[in-house]
Each structure stands twice: as C-alpha cells, then as structure tokens.
C-alpha cells in the first residue's frame, strides 16, 4: 500500500513538473513551492535597441553637438518655474488679495510646469530612436492637451471667478 502511495506521489510530481513556474523553489521536504510575489519577472515590452557598432571598436563614442536649450539653460528654466510656483501658490492666500494678474501668472506657471514634466516623461519612456512614431504622437498629444488646458484656464479666469477664488470657495465649503 505504501508503494502505491509513493508511486502516485511521484507520478503527481512528474505531471506537475510540466506546469512548474520558473520561480518555483523546493523546501526542505523536497516539495515544490511557488513564491507569492514575483519581483524578478523579465518582460520585454519594447523591442531591444539595434545592436550595431558605428566605426571601429577603437573609435571614441560620438559626442552630440551641444545646444543651449537642451542643457543647463533648460535645467535652469525648469528650476526657476518650479521655485516660482511656491510663492505664487502661497501669496494670494497669505496676503488676502485677489489679483487677476497674479492668477494669470500662476496659471501660466502651472501650465508650463506641467508641460515640462510630461515632456520629460515622454522623452524618458518613448525615446525617438526606439519608437519614433510613438514619440512624435505623444509629443503632439501633449501639445494639444497643453493648449487645451491653457485655453480652459484662460476662460476660467476671464469668464468665472478665477483659480484662487475657486480654491478659497472649495476650501471654505
């Protein structure tokens, strides 16, 4: 009887080995266990980059031509917009005055800050050399959303109460 139980156990293990996960481990008793959360699964979403060598193996890496808007000026502009949002966000509520010019500057800084942030995400996740059509589509979609947001905020500022007054009303509601 014990030999039949052992044979059925071996048969079950050999049948299940075809369906065993690559993350399966064996415990001390030799029984296969599957890890609950797989953190090491490798999934290739985008195709790999082309594996070509330009020139010879001993040539230095090509240095792209420098452009001021893609380097330190761009970084400085991003930081200036981000730092400028702090006082623009606090000033209308701390001073207690509602100024349409300050609202307009706040809205334009919010639109610029959002556009720059989403553009950085598109550049990071959809590189032009890997997926040129997707990157172009995402950039044009970002421009359309940025323009729509700017027009919407302009309409809200000119035909309604404005951003800071709306926040005050929501805060006190």
Binding-site residue numbers for heme b are 113
Looking at the DSSP assignment, which residues form a beta bridge with residue 34? 24
Contact call for residues 164 and 92 (beta carbons, < 8 A):
yes
8 A C-beta contact, residue 36 and residue 21: no
The answer to whether the beta carbons of residues 104 and 161 sit under 8 Å apart is no
Q: What is the DSSP string of 41-84?
A: -----SPPPP----S-TTSPPPPPPP-GGGTHHHHHHHHHHHHH
Q: Is 99 helix (H, G, I), strand (E, B) or coil?
A: coil
- Residue ranges at the known binding site for a ubiquinone: 125
**3-state SS, residue 160:** coil
Which positions make up the binding site?
A: 113, 125
């Amino acid at each position: 009887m014990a030999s039949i139980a052992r044979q059925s156990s071996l048969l079950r293990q050999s049948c299940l080995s075809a369906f065993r996960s690559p993350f399966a481990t064996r415990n001390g008793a030799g029984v296969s266990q599957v890890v609950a959360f797989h953190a090491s699964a490798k999934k290739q979403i985008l195709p790999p980059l082309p594996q070509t060598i330009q020139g010879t193996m001993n040539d230095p890496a090509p240095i792209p031509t420098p452009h001021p808007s893609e380097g330190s000026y761009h970084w400085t502009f991003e930081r200036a917009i981000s730092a400028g949002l702090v006082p623009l966000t606090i000033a209308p509520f701390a001073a207690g005055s509602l100024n349409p010019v300050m609202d307009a500057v706040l809205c334009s800084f919010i639109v610029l800050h959002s556009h720059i942030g989403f553009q950085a995400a598109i550049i990071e996740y959809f590189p032009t050399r890997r997926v040129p059509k997707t990157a172009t589509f995402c950039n044009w979609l970002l421009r359309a959303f940025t323009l729509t947001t700017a027009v919407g905020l302009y309409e809200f500022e000119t035909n309604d109460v404005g951003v800071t007054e709306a926040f005050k009303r929501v805060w006190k509601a």
